[in-house]
Structure 1
Amino acid sequence: MYFDFDHMERLGARSHSFDAGEKIFLQNEHGNVLYVVRTGRVEVITFGKVLEKVGANGIVGEIAFVDGGPRSAAALASEKTDVMVLDKDAFSAIIREDPDFALHVMRVMAERLRRLNLVGHH
């Protein structure tokens, strides 16, 4: 899925840049925003192990955003990375205009949870 980042910004998302090696969030932090990667690459890490590398148009931070719990992993920018930061209000505004965005976030989350479950059982 490809996103209209300018439109997201008009609906209340904010743009943010991270330098290579900079933390986006840490495991167990409270998570009240999710991130959509504009450019660059984000490594999702738990206990020092890279679970996933997320590039442009990828989403990170959705699990804690959706359930209000702590971050299940850390996220670090592995290169200079620009993201859109969506809080609940921006997310709500976006899905009012494009309900498929919510389905996309749920699909991403489901794929990650399936992968984690498969990894955890082997």
Structure 2
Amino acid sequence: MSEVGLARVASRAATFHAEEGRVLALEGDPGAGMFILCEGTIAVELRSGSLELGPGDFFGELALLVDDGARVARVRAMTPVRCVSIPREEFLTLVETEPSFALHMLRELARRLTEARAAV
């Protein structure tokens, strides 16, 4: 990401902590932001199974890519976690102005989709 992009995110992002077992997102809830996991492990619980994510991974982006999008999974902290939250508007600006951010996100989404298909 460019220095300008990083500075913009740093000025708008918030950090939060959650204890083990806490639900961070519920399927069907409106998507207000994207999250980057800094510490800990989460479970993304889909109808088709569960996906475990750790430090450096992100979640919550799918609901932001569709107007009035809703969360597609329940997300639960498997351990104590620390996350950075990026608000919807800032996320959309990053996708539009930071090609490396958008490409990284698309590659990760494609990897997850491929793994989900292989598990079925």
TM class by shorter chain equals: 0.7 to 0.9
Please name the residue that 2:111 is paired with: 111
**3-state SS, counterpart of residue 112 of structure 2:** helix
Q: How high is the TM-score relative to the length of structure 2?
A: 0.78
Please name the residue that 1:13 is paired with: 13
Aligned identity (percent) is 21
1:11 Cα offset (Å) = 3.2
Q: How high is the TM-score relative to the length of structure 1?
A: 0.77
Counterpart Cα distance in 2 of 1:79 and 1:7: 29
Cα RMSD, aligned residues only:
2.4
Counterpart Cα distance in 2 of 1:35 and 1:89: 13
Matching of residue 56 in structure 1 with residue 59 in structure 2: no
Stretches of structure 1 that go unaligned for 5 or more consecutive residues are 1-5
Q: Could you list the per-position Cα deviations for residues 61-101 of structure 1 after superposition, in whole angstroms to 9, with x for gaps in the alignment?
A: 12112124222211111111010111133325655774311
2:13–2:85 Cα contact (<8 Å) kept: yes
Counterpart Cα distance in 2 of 1:28 and 1:88: 16
Q: Could you list the per-position Cα deviations for residues 21-49 of structure 1 after superposition, in whole angstroms to 9, with x for gaps in the alignment?
A: 00110112211211100111111112494
What does residue range 58-77 of structure 1 map to in structure 2 within 5 Å?
Answer: 58-68=57-67, 69-77=69-77
Please name the residue that 1:3 is paired with: none
1:16 Cα offset (Å) = 1.1
Stretches of structure 2 that go unaligned for 5 or more consecutive residues are 1-5
Please name the residue that 2:35 is paired with: 35
Aligned residue identity for 1:102: A
CA 1:40–1:8: 2 relative to 1, 3 Å: farther
**3-state SS, counterpart of residue 29 of structure 2:** coil
Aligned length: 114
Matching of residue 101 in structure 1 with residue 101 in structure 2: yes
1:12–1:89 Cα contact (<8 Å) kept: no
Aligned residue identity for 1:53: E
